[in-house]
Structure formats: C-alpha cells, structure tokens
Amino acid sequence: MLHKLKGFCNIDLQDDIVNMMLKGADNLILSAQCQPHNNRRAMTMPLLRHFGHKLSTSNWDPITRQCFWTAGLVAFFGTVRMGELLSPTESQADPTSTLTWEDIYHRKEDDSFLIHLKIPKTAPKQGEFVDLFKFKKFGCCPVAALKNHKKKQMELGKARPKDPVFSLPGGQLMTTNSFNAGLKVLMADICDFKVRTSYNRHCTS
C-alpha cells in the first residue's frame, strides 16, 4: 500500500529482497514477544557483605554460620552454581556431583585452593577446576573461610576425604534448597523474595 501511495504501482511484491524484509519484520515481532523476563537479582559485593553481617549477628550456631558463609563465598568467588557444590538431599550425597574434601587441594606455596567440580554446567568428562585466591577486603576472603570451615568440620569428625564439604551440625547435608531457605531468612530485610533472586553471578536460588 505504501508503495502504491508513492506511485510505485508496478513494484514486484514477490521480489526476494521484499520477502526477506517482511520475514525479518515478522521475526523481530516474534522475538520481542518471546523475550524472557529475567527478574533474577545478582549477588553483588554489598549484598555479600550484608549476608555476612546478618550471619554474624544471627543466633545460629557457629558451625552452621561458618557452613553458610563458606558456601556463599566459594560460590561467589568461584562463580559456580550452588548445585555444583551441595548435596541433592539432606540425607545422602551424590558421589558423582557433591563436593567432597578430596576435591579440594590446598596449595601451600601461595595459600590458595584448587577445587574440582565434578559435574559443572559445561559437563566435560573430567569436570572443571576452579581457583580460589585470597581476598583481603571486607572480611570476605574465601580462602580464610574455607580453612576455618574445615577446622570446624574436623571438630565434628566430618572432614575426611570422602565427606561432603558442606555438612551441618545436626548431621544433615546442606542442599540448594536449605541454603536458599537460610538466605531468605537472613536477607528478608532488604530483598523481596517474591522476585527470583540469584545468589551469585549465575547461581539461581
């Protein structure tokens, strides 16, 4: 119609270029309609610090606080998903995916950690390796947290090579659901959990 109004009455509307333009317009409309709405909030350093503050002032027992704090720091600084670290259920670990102490190597020469993720998102057969280095600001050092966590786990007799890294005092294992439940309690003063919230850069809660 526009072509005819402009006087181009002999335009070939079956032209390949015209058809490609029309198809492209249709695709743009379809893409706009199907665009996912990402309402996830990313964990940032200010939120991480608030998380740590709320943990330290909670009435949770010290081992539970350390377990949550260490899991949060490892996920944040390692940019890994909670499911790559935690157990699928509170009663039983999955040896093919749950992080155990034998999956963590302490490099004493620079006081860093090398963590073996057995089933990461990219899913290579050999897994992936994540480095954790010291972070000396804001009391958010993942290396210090992991060392303190291992010490507390040893007090429970749960830091053997095959033991899951994130074990709670009552004997239950930390899962993604239990971590997120604790996160919601601790962060309820500043986070609206009617909106889906991510713990770290790409770990969903």
Q: What is the pLDDT of residues 5-29, one digit of tens each?
A: 777 766 666 777 878 888 888 877 7
Tell me what pLDDT residue 66 has.
95
List the domain boundaries for the chain. Answer: 2-34, 45-186
> 133: which residues sit within 8 A by CB, 6+ positions away?
77, 110, 112, 142, 143
Tell me what pLDDT residue 122 has.
63
Residue 195 pLDDT more than 60?
Answer: no
Give the model confidence (pLDDT) of 87-101 as tens digits. Answer: 999 988 888 889 999
Mean pLDDT of 45-60: 93
Computed over every residue of the chain, the mean pLDDT equals 84
Q: How far apart are CA 120 and CA 124, in angstroms?
A: 8
Helix crossing, 62-78 with 142-155: angle to 10°? 140
Parallel, antiparallel, or unpaired: how do β-strands 112-117 and 128-132 relate?
antiparallel
Mean pLDDT of 152-163: 90
Quote the pTM value.
Answer: 0.74
CATH class assigned to 45-186: alpha beta
Adjacency order of strands within the sheet including 112-117: 104-107, 112-117, 128-132
